[in-house]
Amino acid sequence: MKVGMCLLGSVAFVACGDDDPDDGPAVEGLTVTPTSLSFTKDGGQKSISARAGQNVTASSDAAWCVVTIGEKTPTLKVTPINVTVEANTTTEQRTATITVKAGAESKTVSVTQEKGETKPDSNPDPSGNIKYDAKQVAKLMYPGWNLGNTMEAGSNTNSWKSVGVSTETAWQKTKTTKELINFIKAQGFKSVRIPCAWVMGHITDTNNCTIDPQWMARVKEIVSYCVDADLYVVLNQHWDGGWLEHDGFTANAAVALKKQQLTKVWTQIAEAFKDYDDHVIFAGLNEPGVGGAYQDNGKNIADDKLASRLAEYEQAFIDAVRATGGNNEYRVLVVQGPETNIDKTVKNNYCSKLNDKHTGRLMMEVHFYDPYQFTMMNKDESLEKMWYYWGKDNTGSDANRNANSNYTENYVKNQMAKLKTAFVDNGIPVIIGEFGANQRFAIGQDPIHDASIKAWYAAVTSYAINNGCIPYAWDTNSGNGMSIIDRSNIKVLNTNMMTGVTEGVAAAKWPY
């Protein structure tokens, strides 16, 4: 008997073998050493070794952790596996699992890396309260969840009036609590979009556009629930009865007056949230132009003119926020595409018309409810039928209820890729501010429909993230349709949707 030693990386292996070095030692089973590795935030390379009588393979479940197989040492039956870890630019510790296989056997090695320190951009906030620019913060925000049908609820007849804080439960029955927000965090969501009405039901002085202080206090309370839970917040100026998103896009709109009103509203919001750090992000509008056609003498005007009008309003929003100073000087802001429609937004990209005093602080917003026949259509039409089934693996016996193959996974993938090319690759992250599909039948009633809902949510989530877009699931708390969370009982209501989001995140890789 003689002892052989092989030094691989920082690990020494001792093996006992036969006297004949050509045959090597007898090997029983697969052994891997060490079974765990740790890296600093700067990353680097380390080695592990696998000893087996058969060929060895290895794989990693994380893109930032790469494994390569070295040359096997014949006499010791030892195969070196090099592990290369990228620098961690996130603010969280991360883990990966390496799986080593030899024949039918497999072993795992756990990899941990300490949290990184995000490098400041070339235009940093000197106060240090706003640490991230748009690209940096975007990768910390996915996936997102909408507090839908809540702070934006009300009645069109209440525009420019004050009706109190009770509108929070006008469209759904549950008052928002800290426990609910903590539960949202526990489901894996990283940010919350709060659609919020200001003009509709919460103005105490029309001439000055004065926001009801009690309403402002309630909104701040909910925002603080989120920030305390380390959730990022997107707070917007929502539909509000169409005072701007509809009336502001007609040919005879009082544009100057609308801009003044928008400035007054956003100045108050910005002042109220000035002391919040970069966990709070402002979104100027919601779905501009959706409420009514932008028309001239009764005919639709080209979308490029809608985009030009929109640029004027978004500029007023940006200027109002920046003028309040403090943390708002550098706060990340979100502007919306025309009708938040992907194709119209890509085709009519108006970002070059916007002027922000600091670079890298803007995001673009679109919404995604496609294909309509599957997600939202609620009755059959003469030329179109509702689709109950979606995805390449989900086909029902009734062909009329199956989604057209042109609008399944590849369609979602291509739509998100358009946003990456137009915006993300040019330094402007995108939020998919709303996405959702109606659950048409009780869970369990139609398994193929259940699978379709799950597949759709997974596809939208994963393809959005892969292309640098932050997906925000729409949630109404209505007990059906697009309700994911039962807010009254604080539990997951629709497992199809929730599992789809979770699986979509797991399958995705942020592009930078």
User: pLDDT tens digits for 121-153?
Assistant: 446 677 788 999 999 999 999 999 999 999 999
Mean pLDDT across the stretch 38-47? 91
CATH for 25: 2.60.40.10
218 is a domain residue? yes
For tokens 């890298």, what's the residue?
360
For tokens 């003469």, what's the residue?
382
| Same-domain status, 173 and 220 | yes
For 342-395, the pLDDT digits (tens) are 999 999 999 999 999 999 999 999 999 999 999 999 999 988 999 999 999 999
| Same-domain status, 353 and 255 | yes
| Same-domain status, 89 and 53 | yes
Q: What is the pLDDT of residue 300?
A: 55
Res. 12 pLDDT band, cuts 50 70 90: very low
128 is a domain residue? no
DSSP string, 110-142: EEEE----PPP-SS--TTSS----HHHHHTTS-
123 is a domain residue? no
Res. 239 pLDDT band, cuts 50 70 90: confident
Return the top range by mean pLDDT from 236-240, 280-284, 381-385. 280-284
Beta-bridged to residue 191, according to DSSP, are: 144, 232
Q: What is the pLDDT of residue 127?
A: 75
**Spatial separation of the C-alpha atoms in residues 33 and 18, rounded to whole Å:** 22
Name the burial class of residue 161, with classes exposed (0-12), middle (13-18) and buried (19+) by CB atoms within 10 angstroms of its CB: middle
How far is the CA of 165 from the CAs of 150, 156, 196, 273, 475, in angstroms? 11, 16, 12, 19, 21
| Same-domain status, 61 and 145 | no
CB-CB contact of 69 with 94 (8 Å): no
Quick one: tokens of 90?
A: 């996130």
Q: What is the pLDDT of residue 426?
A: 94
For 490-504, the pLDDT digits (tens) are 999 999 999 999 999
| Same-domain status, 279 and 402 | yes
CATH for 220: 3.20.20.80
Q: How far from the centroid of its chain's Cα atoms is residue 253's Cα?
A: 34
pTM: 0.77
129 is a domain residue? no
| Same-domain status, 257 and 298 | yes
227: number of Cβ within 10 Å? 17
CB-CB contact of 145 with 189 (8 Å): yes
119 is a domain residue? no
| Same-domain status, 35 and 164 | no
220 is a domain residue? yes
| Same-domain status, 93 and 176 | no
| Same-domain status, 96 and 215 | no
Last residue of a domain, one of 52, 78, 113: 113
- Comparing CA positions, the residue from 181, 62, 37, 178 lying closest to residue 114 is 37
For 285-344, the pLDDT digits (tens) are 999 987 655 555 555 556 778 899 999 999 999 999 999 999 999 999 999 999 999 999
Quick one: tokens of 420?
A: 């990456």
CB-CB contact of 460 with 471 (8 Å): yes
**Spatial separation of the C-alpha atoms in residues 422 and 84, rounded to whole Å:** 32
| Same-domain status, 406 and 292 | yes
Strands (E), 150-231: 191-194, 203-205, 210-211
Q: What is the pLDDT of residue 37?
A: 94
**Spatial separation of the C-alpha atoms in residues 200 and 460, rounded to whole Å:** 31
Name the average pLDDT for the chain: 90
Mean pLDDT across the stretch 167-172? 96
Last residue of a domain, one of 113, 145, 174: 113
Count of positions (residues) in the chain: 512
Domain count, the chain: 2
Mean pLDDT across the stretch 405-425? 97
**Spatial separation of the C-alpha atoms in residues 473 and 146, rounded to whole Å:** 6
489 is a domain residue? yes
**Spatial separation of the C-alpha atoms in residues 437 and 445, rounded to whole Å:** 17
| Same-domain status, 177 and 102 | no
In the DSSP assignment, the letter for residue 98 is E
| Same-domain status, 272 and 358 | yes
- Domain range for 445 is 134-507
Q: By percentage, how much of the chain surpasses pLDDT 70?
A: 91
In the DSSP assignment, the letter for residue 162 is B
For 182-233, the pLDDT digits (tens) are 999 999 999 999 999 999 999 999 999 999 999 999 999 999 999 999 999 9
In the predicted model, is pLDDT for residue 9 greater than 50? Answer: no
For 469-488, the pLDDT digits (tens) are 999 999 999 988 999 999 99
Mean pLDDT across the stretch 93-117? 91
CB-CB contact of 457 with 451 (8 Å): no
Residues 6+ apart with CB under 8 A from 30: 50, 51, 52, 56, 100, 101, 102, 103, 105, 106, 107
Q: What is the pLDDT of residue 23?
A: 46
In the predicted model, is pLDDT for residue 26 greater than 60? Answer: no
